[in-house]
Amino acid sequence: MAEAEEDCHSEAVREGDDDDENESPAETDLQAQLQRFRAQWMFELAPGGGSGNLESRPCRAARGSLLRAADTRGKQELAKEEKARELFLKAVEEEQNGALYEAIKFYRRAMQLVPDIEFKITYTRSPDGDGVGNSYIEDTDDDSKMADLLSYFQQQLTFQESVLKLCQPELESSQTHISALPMEVLMYVFRWVVSSDLDLRSLEQLSQVCRGFYICARDPEIWRLACLKVWGRSCIKLVPYTSWREMFLERPRVRFDGVYISKTTYIRQGEQSLDGFYRAWHQVEYYRYVRFFPDGHVMMLTTPEEPQSIVPRLRTRNTRTDAILLGHYRLSQDTDNQTKVFAVITKKKEEKALDHKYRYFRRAPVQEADQNFHVGLQLCSSGHQSFNKLIWIHHSCHITYK
C-alpha cells in the first residue's frame, strides 16, 4: 500500500516537472522583460542617469550653440555700429572742411552699415579740438551744466584773455571786426535791432550767432524797456518773475509778430429761379484781421480775401488798403487772472477831392456821422504757442452825428 502511494506521488511530481518544462519559454520571456524593466527603472532613479538626462544633453548643446550665435551676432552689430559712427563723424569733418564729395562717400558708407546712424549719434563741438578725433565729441556732459547757458557762456569768456571780447573773428580780414567795438556800442546796436516795434524775434535770431551775442541779447535793460513798452507803469516790480525776460515771455500780452485771423462761414439763401423749380444756397466766407502794435494802436480789416494776400499789407500802419479800421487798445487783467483786450476803432478817414464842376450850385448838405466800434476780446493760448488766440466777448457800434 505504501509502495503504491509513493509511485503515485512520484508520478505527480513527474507530471509537474513536465508542466514546468512546457511553460518555461513563456515564463522565461516574462522574467526577462521584468528584469529589463527593473533595470531601466533603477537606472532612471539613479542620480546622473536616466533617459531624461540623456535627452537633455543634446537640448543643452543646441541651446548653448544658439546663445553663442546670438552673442556673436550682437558683437557683430556693435562692431558695425561703431564702424558706422566713425564713418559718419569722418563725413561730418569732411563736410566742415569743404570736401563735399568725400563727405558724401563717407555718409553713404555709414548709412549702408546702419541706416539710422544719424539719430544714434549726439555730438557737440569740442572747445579745443582741432584734430580729426577732437573736432566732435559725444554729448556726455551733465545736463545741469547746460541748464543756464548765460552763466556758462560768461564763464567761458572770462577764462580767455585779460581783455574781455565777446566774439573772435573766424577768418583773418583787413577790415575792422565787430568784436573791436566797445560793449556800450554793441548794446546800442542790439537795441536798434529791437527798435520801437519790439522785434524780439530778430533779437533771438541774433543771439544764435555766437556766445558773445547770446550774452548781449540777454541784457536785462533791453527786456526791461520792452516790458515798459507793453505794460507801462504796471510792471515796475519783477515779482513774481525772476527776470525781465521771463516777465515778457510769460506774462499775458498781445502778440506783435503776426496777425490774428478770424474766419467766418455761414449759409445764405439765394433767390428763387424764374420757373420756381429750385432755390440756390450760397456759402459765404470772410476773414477778419486784427493787427496790434506796441505803441497801443490796432488795425482791423474785414474782407473775403485770403491771408496770403492780406497779411503782407498789414505789416505797417501806413497801409493803403481800403475799408481798414484804425484805433487804439488797452490791456486789462481782472481779479480772475483773465487778461482782456478792449479796443476802440473807427474807419480810416479819406480826403475827398473838391468837385469844381458844381461849385456854383447849392446842394443839400449831407449829414456826416462817425462810427466807432467797441470791441472786447479775451486773451488766451492754444497749442504750443502762447497768447495766440483771442475770444470775442462783445462788439458794439457807436454812431455820432455831426
Percent of the chain with pLDDT over 70: 73
For residue 1, the model assigns a pLDDT of 45
**Average pLDDT of the chain to the nearest whole number:** 75
Confidence of residue 362 (pLDDT cuts 50, 70, 90): low
Q: What are 266-286's pLDDT values in tens digits?
A: 888 888 777 777 778 888 899
Q: What's the pLDDT score for residue 339?
A: 84
Lowest-confidence pick of 53-57, 113-117, 186-190, 371-375: 53-57
Task: Please compute the mean of the pLDDT values over residues 68-96 and round it to a whole number.
Answer: 85
pLDDT tens string 139-185 = 445 445 555 766 766 666 654 454 556 677 777 778 877 777 777 88
> Comparing 13-27, 199-213, 323-337, which segment has the lowest mean pLDDT?
13-27
At residue 55, does pLDDT exceed 50? no
Q: State what percent of residues in the chain have pLDDT above 90.
A: 2
Tell me, what's the pLDDT at 337?
A: 72
Highest average pLDDT, of 145-149, 295-299, 346-350, comes from 295-299
Is 242 or 134 the better-scoring residue by pLDDT? 242
Banded model confidence at residue 335, pLDDT cuts 50, 70, 90: low
Confidence label for 41 from pLDDT (cuts 50, 70 and 90): confident
Lowest mean pLDDT among 256-260, 295-299, 353-357: 353-357
Of the two residues 235 and 299, the one the predictor is more confident about is 299
**pLDDT grade for 51, boundaries at 50, 70 and 90:** very low
Task: Give the pLDDT confidence score for residue 398 in this predicted structure.
Answer: 85
- Residue that has been written with the C-alpha cell 561703431 in this structure: 82
| Section 10-33 average pLDDT | 60
pLDDT tens readout for residues 110-129: 888 888 888 777 655 443 44
Confidence check: pLDDT of 45 > 60: yes
Greater confidence (122 vs 322) lies with: 322
**Per-residue pLDDT, 184:** 82
Q: What does the block give as the cell for 80?
A: 558695425
Which of the four pLDDT bands, split at 50, 70 and 90, describes residue 50?
A: very low
Does 102 score more than 50 pLDDT? yes
In sequence order, the β-bridge partners of residue 396 are 374
